Amino acid sequence: MTVVGGRPVVRRIGFFLYEGMAASDILWEVDMFRLAPVIAQAEGLACPEFETVMIGLKRGPVATWSGYSIFAERSLSEIRTSLDLIYVGSAMPELQKRLLADTEFRSAMCAIAASGCRLVAVGSAAMIFADLGLLDGRRATVHSVAADAFRDAYPEIEFEADPLWVEDGPIVTTAGSMPAVEFTLEVIERECGRAMSFAIAKAGLLPMRRGASQSRLSAALVMQMEASDRFDGMLQWLSENLHVQISVTELSDLAGMSPRNFARRFVERTGSTPARFVETLRAERARQLMETTQLPLVRIAERSGLRNEQGLRRALRRVFGKSPVELRAMVRRPGSTLAESEGSLS
């Protein structure tokens, strides 16, 4: 446990519940915050005590989208100034509009924002934040299914379509449930260090730590959606061995096809040549390493199969339109820990 001035550090995390919301938008996060101190004690790591609380318009059971209920331990009116962070999940548009029609909700959420608490909108909950005016003059993102509606309804907000999450001051908007999980790992890393965030990612069997600027659809995922089963083994090997230099002929052998037929079918299925696809995969891996490690560029180039810094710069410029310096400036944008609060949830 982290102790400052002889007192244990406590971070107060709220999860707002309302009728019809998607429970999956918050349940992973509850477990992650509860798990962090347990792992910290077992591994000898420093970590605040994360105090979590379920919040509703009033105390009592709240029916979720799936039909089961989650119990709200506190009402919004009880916790207006005592939270460090609060998550708001998504729901169908008509249910979000019903929530926004509640004057008590509007008043309480604006008071919470004014108190210095940080707010996280999961997926389409960004529409709620926008309607409350919390995104005025800020950057934001939203789940892809709500992107067009968001842009049409709030043209004054600087919408970003690609990031997993957008953090603008105290307001965070995420592209959906899993990006919210990954943002939570980021919060825990800022509070407890990299070893803790990776320990929790490992416990949750997450395949990879991604940063906010990572694309929602990787080249590998796009290929899995578009390609036939014959490419699966090749793609699996390639994803695990990007550091290995391999020719198109060797890739065709992995797919069990002739080089000529492989190259033709590959372009038909993915819209990309095998060589360009491999470069994109390597650029994505390099970008991920830049976000989640302190490795020098030459090591990142080697691990991602781009050979050297010149190859790294060329691939990043071609795939993302940015240099390594520009990408690192984006991903190393300073992030704050949660503001300490002297309030209480009791």
Mean pLDDT of 273-281: 89
What residue ranges do the domains of the chain occupy?
Answer: 3-203, 219-331
Q: Is the pLDDT of residue 345 over 60?
A: no
Please check the confidence at residue 3 and state whether its pLDDT lies above 70: no
Geometric angle at alpha carbon 182, from 28 and 180, rounded to 5° = 65
Q: What's the confidence (pLDDT) of residue 98?
A: 96
Residues 289-328: pLDDT tens digits? 887 778 899 999 999 999 999 999 999 998 888 888 888 7
**Alpha carbons within 13 A on the beta-carbon side of 158:** 7
**Integer Cα distance of 14 and 84 in angstroms:** 8
| Model pLDDT for residues 151-179, shown as the tens digit of each residue | 999 999 999 988 889 999 999 999 999 88
Counting residues of the chain whose pLDDT is more than 70, the rounded percentage is 85
Pick from 289, 290, 269: which is nearest to 219 by CA?
269
293 closest CA partner among 215, 174, 210: 210
Is the pTM higher than 0.75? The answer reads no
- The position carrying tokens 């590959």 is 266
- The pLDDT of residue 209 is 53
Query: What is the model's pLDDT at position 235?
Result: 80
* CA nearest neighbour of 119 among 163, 88, 75, 77: 88
- For range 210-214, the mean pLDDT: 52
- 108-119 tens-digit pLDDT: 999 999 998 999
Task: Say which CATH topology domain 3-203 has.
Answer: Rossmann fold (3.40.50)
Contact 315, 279 (CB under 8 A): yes
Please state, in angstroms and as integers, the Cα–Cα distance from residue 93 to each residue in 20, 127, 145, 229, following that order: 10, 9, 12, 37
Mean pLDDT of 171-195: 89
Express each pLDDT in 64-91 by its tens digit.
Answer: 998 899 999 999 988 877 899 999 999 9
Q: What confidence category does residue 216 fall into, taking pLDDT thresholds of 50, 70 and 90?
A: very low
Name the CATH architecture for the domain at 219-331.
Orthogonal Bundle (1.10)
Q: How is the chain split among helix, strand and coil, in percent rounded to 5?
A: 50, 15, 35
Sign of CA pseudo-dihedral 193, 284, 149, 176? negative
